[in-house]
Amino acid sequence: MGAAASMAAPRAAAWEPGINHVQKVTRLYRAALRTSRDWHIDYDMWVKDCERIQARFRANKDKPLMEGKTLVEKGMAELFEMRHPDPYIPIYKPGSSSYQRNVPPPPELTHQSMPPPHEAIQ
């Protein structure tokens, strides 16, 4: 199965077969930033980690293609190891921690605690 089998479907879709090296590097970079965001609560700490990730990618930007392919494979393995058990999902998407957080309670529960209409305070 591989790393894509244990990732969320939208994140695993980025690793489809048949993409070129530049696309793999770009997708690895974006996935590394997203994974970093999963681990950081504080925005400033996340930005510093993003700068560290960017520096790692820039340091290897002029490597030969064969060495670059090896680096991408190592990067994907590192990304797989560093994935968060409960990744951040935007609040508007199903499965997020805030999705439908303030849903009203079912009517049968609210009507049980209310007095009958003829006893209600006018």
Who's near 89: CB < 8 A, 6+ residues apart? 8, 95, 96, 97, 99
| Per-residue pLDDT at 61 exceeds 80 | yes
Cβ atoms within 10 A of the Cβ of 50, count? 16
pTM for the full predicted model: 0.67
Tens digit of each residue's pLDDT (9 = 90 or more) over 76-110:
999 999 998 888 887 777 777 666 666 677 777 76
Could you say which DSSP state residue 83 is in? -
Q: Rounded mean pLDDT of the chain?
A: 81
For residue 68, with 0-12 CB atoms within 10 Å meaning exposed, 13-18 middle and 19 or more buried, which class applies?
A: middle
Helix 21-39 with 43-59: angle, nearest 10 deg: 150
d(CA 12, CA 49): 23
